[in-house]
Structure 1
Amino acid sequence: MMQAYVAYRGTWERRFRSPWGRALIAAALMVSLVLDGIFLAVDRLHSPAADRLEHPADPVTDAQSRNQVVEPAQQIVTVARLQNPTAGYLLMSCKNHDDPPYQGAVYLNFTLPAGAHAESFFRNVAATMVAHGWYEGLPPNQHLHGVTLYKKGVTAIVYPDSDDASMGTMRLYGECRNLNDHRNDTTGWVDITGEFNPTR
């Protein structure tokens, strides 16, 4: 029995010392190193997005977060001739309900022109804003006839009100670059309707 084991062990030692055996060991080690490298690369590819959210390169102030969305909202209202706008502003968390970083957000409602057909009206809004430097994205999935517009880090979603065919809604979201701590803020939406001049 002992002789059989010694012979078996000797056979395997000779195989691993042969050029073929060494090549097999080297290949196994190489596969292990390559897989480790892929794992690290994938981990690095995923971490920058989370890292950018936690530590934006150029943090902004509360006033800058507000201006980033209020001024484009004013531009869209004026250029697209949105009628009778009412609007609210909120600094909202990009992560959860409370924690930084935050982004500015504007929720705005407006009246559709009498007799306006929703599809053509919102297509015209998109075309008008594209002519003024905005980019059109994919339409929002949950809002029929809605349009999505982008410009300088701001996303604007404009769509018909699902509960009232005579109304439209616009949502604007800024960049997640405000690191100020607002976890203990007691204020919510702030009415900013007075900052818009409706086209009559």
Structure 2
Amino acid sequence: MPRKRIPLAVTAMVAAALSGCGIMQSDADRVSNPLTPEQSKAQVMDAAHDIVTTLNINVVEAAFWHASCNDQGDPPFRGQMRIAYPPAASFAASDAEIAQMVQQLRTKGWNADPGFHTHGTALTKGNVTAVFGPQNVSNPNRDIELFGECRDTTTTKDTKGRVERVTLP
């Protein structure tokens, strides 16, 4: 009985699909309700203003940048920023101050984010995560890092720009 030949293209597609190398959809294509670069910046800037105003933090330096949400540097991107503020007198004093700041922010609608893995304390509000880093000897200041949503599909490796110093109240 003669054997039926399966076309090479069909064989290749089946093999690719079974090996996980099938036709891939980019992360950017999976984003529903994308943000513009301006909106992704405003998202974390608004959260930063909320934190700095609520806690009356003495900001030493603040910086914003667009960060890719994957290791390849491809879209989607998110707004990200770092707020540096002065160190406490000791590690114990820093831990106590951060605990107090976290409690104060929780009264203003910030909630714990148990799904965000970090060495610091993570809080979330309005789809922005703020991470209070622990004080350490290798950094002259303490910091709060803010991470916006991975919904900016317009920004690319070439258009992400540089780290931008920003002014906070």
Indicate the TM-score class for this superposition, using the shorter chain for normalisation.
Answer: 0.7 to 0.9
Task: State percent identity of aligned pairs.
Answer: 24
Residue in structure 1 matched with residue 146 of structure 2 by the alignment: 172
Q: Which residue of 2 aligns with 1:110?
A: 85
* 2:59 corresponds to: 84
| Residue of structure 2 in register with 1:183 after alignment | 157
Report how far residue 171 of structure 1 moved.
0.5
Per-residue CA deviations over 1:23-54 (Å, capped at 9, x if unaligned) read xxxxxxxxxxxxxxxxxxxxxxxxxxx88764
5+ residue gaps in structure 2?
1-24
Q: Which has the higher contact order (CA 8 A, sep 6+)?
A: 2
Which position in structure 2 is the counterpart of 1:6? Answer: none
Looking at structure 2, the residues matched to 165 and 94 of structure 1 have their Cα atoms a distance apart, in angstroms, of 25
SS in 1 for 2:62: strand
Q: How does 1:12-161 map to 2 (within 5 A)?
A: 54-112=29-87, 117-138=93-114, 143=119, 146-161=120-135
Letter of the structure 2 residue corresponding to residue 120 of structure 1: A
Gaps of 5+ in 1: 1-49
CA contact (8 A) 1:112 1:167 kept: yes
Letter in 2 for 1:127: Q
Amino acid in structure 2 at the alignment position of 1:74: H
Whether the 8 Å CA contact 2:66–2:161 is kept in 1: the answer is no
C-alpha deviation, 1:60, in angstroms: 0.8
Give the direction of change, closer, same or farther, for the CA distance of 1:91–1:76 in structure 2 (3 Å limit).
same
Larger Rg belongs to: 1
- What number of residue pairs does the alignment pair up? 145
When the two structures are superposed, what TM-score results if normalisation uses the length of structure 2? 0.74
Matched residue type, 2:103? A
